[in-house]
């Protein structure tokens, strides 16, 4: 068996930017094999790859849409070269915000397809592999909005609440096979998306957070790395908030 095949292998969806990139970098510190999916920003994905490789990881990039079964299959086929899949991080997600009276059916369907069906697609493929291995760590990215709701985000809230439900259901299915399934529910994290907000909106958000500041991608990544580790082997079916106290 080659040296690469002796390392753990992780698949991370939506790993080109933001929280996804932070998780990739945190896992790269453990010199894993990383298979990273991205939707369309090749330059950002390549930057993530280069940064991870500097930390000692072997990195494969796969472009695709997680809502499409064939694209998810290509992602797992790319991971097959390493012989196993130890970790799956379902991070890919989109927003198309609007009040419900103005939200199109297309925008509702697209958000649910990417954020929820995309998770299901990858979970189905990972489950087959991990059950056979009798080992696996699955981390699904939900959101504080999936717990508390948020005006103008009925599609996003529905999709992220669904991620929580699918996490708990799958944890019950896979626990006896040595596979853990957990969710992380981030609050307002500094990303490209939040950077585009006005100063007034950012201040309003901070005032709604008990800790009075937004989080960083590294805050989520550190938890993801722990849940992906052997030390977290007795934790499953949980939703852990990284939100500065918003969902208390």
β-strand 179-186 against 136-141: which pairing, if any?
parallel
Mean pLDDT, the chain, integer: 94
Residue 23 phi/psi, 5° resolution?
Answer: -70, -40
Residue 219's Cα: distance from chain center in Å? 14
Furthest-apart CA atoms within the chain: distance in Å: 57
Q: How far apart are CA 48 and CA 79, in angstroms?
A: 17
- Segments making up each domain of the chain, as ranges: 4-241
Q: 32-66 burial by CB neighbour count: b if 16+ within 10 A, else e?
A: bbbbbbbbeeeebbeebbeebeebebbbbbbbbbb
Q: How far apart are CA 85 and CA 102, in angstroms?
A: 42
Of 3.30.360.10, 3.30.70.260, 3.40.50.720, 3.40.228.10, which CATH number belongs to 4-241?
3.40.50.720
Question: Is the model more confident about 84 or about 196?
Answer: 84
Q: How many residues does the chain have?
A: 248
- The answer to whether residue 3 scores a pLDDT higher than 70 is no
Helical pair 18-28 and 42-54, crossing angle rounded to 10 deg: 20
- The answer to whether residue 25 scores a pLDDT higher than 80 is yes
Residue 120 phi/psi, 5° resolution?
Answer: -60, -45
Which residues have a catalytic role annotated? 156
Tell me the whole-structure pTM to 2 decimals: 0.95
What is the pLDDT at residue 1?
37
Give the pLDDT confidence of 139-160 residue by residue, as tens digits: 999 999 999 999 999 999 999 9
């Amino acid at each position: 068996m080659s040296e690469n095949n002796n390392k753990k292998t992780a698949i991370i969806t939506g790993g080109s930017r933001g929280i996804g990139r932070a998780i990739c970098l945190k896992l790269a510190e453990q010199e894993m094999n990383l298979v990273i999916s991205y939707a369309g920003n090749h330059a950002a994905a390549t930057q993530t790859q280069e940064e991870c490789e500097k930390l000692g990881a072997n990195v494969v990039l796969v472009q695709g849409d997680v809502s499409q079964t064939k694209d998810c299959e290509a992602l797992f086929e790319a991971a097959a070269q390493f012989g196993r899949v130890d970790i799956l991080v379902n991070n890919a997600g989109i927003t198309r915000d609007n009040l419900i009276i103005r939200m199109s059916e297309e925008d509702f369907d697209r958000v649910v397809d990417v954020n929820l069906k995309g998770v299901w697609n990858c979970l189905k493929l990972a489950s087959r592999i991990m059950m056979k291995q009798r080992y696996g760590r699955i981390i699904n990215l939900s959101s504080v909005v999936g717990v508390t709701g948020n005006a103008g985000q009925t599609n996003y809230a529905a999709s992220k609440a669904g991620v929580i439900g699918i996490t708990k259901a799958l944890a019950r299915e896979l626990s006896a096979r040595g596979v853990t399934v957990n969710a992380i529910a981030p609050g307002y994290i500094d990303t490209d998306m939040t950077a585009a907000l006005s100063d007034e909106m950012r201040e309003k958000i901070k005032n709604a957070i008990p800790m009075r500041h937004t989080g960083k991608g590294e805050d989520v990544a550190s938890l993801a790395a722990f849940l992906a580790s052997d030390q977290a082997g007795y934790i499953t079916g949980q939703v852990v908030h990284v939100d500065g106290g918003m969902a208390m």
